[in-house]
Structure 1
Amino acid sequence: MSKAKKTEFRPDDFVVYPTHGVGRIVSIEEQEVAGLRLEMFVISFEKDKMTLRVPTARATEIGMRGLSTPDLVERALDTLKGKARVKRAMWSRRAQEYEQKINSGDLMSIAEVVRDLHRNDDQREQSYSERQLYEAALDRLTREVAAVSGMDEAGAQKRVETVLTARAA
């Protein structure tokens, strides 16, 4: 079983890495680490100008996954239409939960953060940390929507914003 798992991802595939979002596998290379020969996925996160090397044997266990299905993207966008659910916990506690959701790499959880932290022009100001979390979640969501639907990020952002503003109306 584990042998089959290794070849699940191929060069040029888009993948989602939990703590970094959407990246593209540039290559699969062998590298010697502490005397062991390891096969590594070389993943490029172009927007962040970052390259990550992930051992192929551990990719799934780390939480790396393929892009969501178009169906899941639609469900995530539908989540944005829902009413914001804000717990009455202290901000530090909520912020921690939002961060965990963003770093889970789970598209539905990320969409929930966007929904819960989205502000319309007529609503109260966001604190700096709220804005940071909102933008991180929005960026992750937008990048995956773009990759799944084969559109550029600007188009994906417009699509997400349209859903968010329609909710407000």
Structure 2
Amino acid sequence: MSKTKKTDFRPNDFVVYPAHGVGKIMAVEEQEIAGLKLELFVISFEKDKMTLRVPTHKAQEIGMRQLASPDLVTKALETLKGKAKVKRAMWSRRAQEYEQKINSGDLMAIAEVVRDLHRTDDQREQSYSERQLYEAALERLTREVAAVGGTDEAGAQKKVDDVLLSRAA
């Protein structure tokens, strides 16, 4: 078991955990589990009032990553301006793909979901499940934009909304 990857993440770093979005590493602690000493990242997801313990040697493998670079955030916001690409597949199949993109933790994929599911006031209503997926993707995107930009979520939300509104204009 090599311990080389551990140095990529440190306490107080913001990280992106694929299934939960942006969290903050509160500590690195050792615990004994089933007789094995394990080193764990303690990650807090404040908004969800949740704490996750991730074995340090598994962090990379499960797709935990540093926050996106400011450049990538800019690219993701540019993606929002694009035209929605909606496949002509059954909704259940598309919903599955959207869910996979959201849980991939990939900022560009998440931005694509926001772009594809965004509705302006004059467009048709969203179904409940469409709205759920859209809001999940939007929240992930907004949290990362906020963390990377060092702003609060409201500021990041406005930034994302402005981009989406400029697209509609």
Common fold: TM-score over 0.5: yes
What's 1:46 paired with?
A: 46
2:81 corresponding residue in structure 1: 81
Distance 1:32 1:41 in 2: 14
Counterpart Cα distance in 2 of 1:34 and 1:87 = 47
User: What is the CA–CA distance in structure 2 between the aligned matches of 1:8 and 1:164, rounded to whole Å?
Assistant: 34
Aligned residue for 2:3?
3
- Unpaired segments ≥5 residues, structure 2: none
Q: CA deviation at 1:51?
A: 0.2
What amino acid sits opposite 1:29 in the alignment?
Answer: E
- Aligned letter for 1:11? P
Question: What is the one-letter code of the residue matched to 2:67?
Answer: L
Q: When the two structures are superposed, what TM-score results if normalisation uses the length of structure 1? A: 0.99
Partner of 1:117 in structure 2?
Answer: 117
Cα distance in 2 for partners of 1:95, 1:3 equals 38
Report runs of 4+ in structure 1 exceeding 4 Å deviation. none
Distance 1:137 1:130 in 2: 11
Match of 2:36 in 1: 36
Shift of 1:5: 1.1
CA drift at 1:3: 2.7
**1:162 maps onto 2:143 in alignment:** no
Match of 1:71 in 2: 71
Stretches of structure 1 lacking an aligned partner (at least 5 in a row): none
SS in 1 for 2:123: coil
Matched residue of 2:85: which SS?
coil
Distance across 2 between alignment mates of 1:92 and 1:98: 10
Q: Distance between the aligned counterparts of 2:54 and 2:99, measured in 1? A: 22
Letter in 2 for 1:162: D
Task: Give the C-alpha shift of residue 2 in structure 1.
Answer: 4.2
Letter of the structure 2 residue corresponding to residue 7 of structure 1: T
Q: Distance in 1 between matches of 2:79 and 2:160?
A: 11
Query: How far is the alpha carbon of 1:38 from its aligned partner?
Result: 0.1
Residue type matched to 1:20 in 2? H
Partner of 2:55: 55
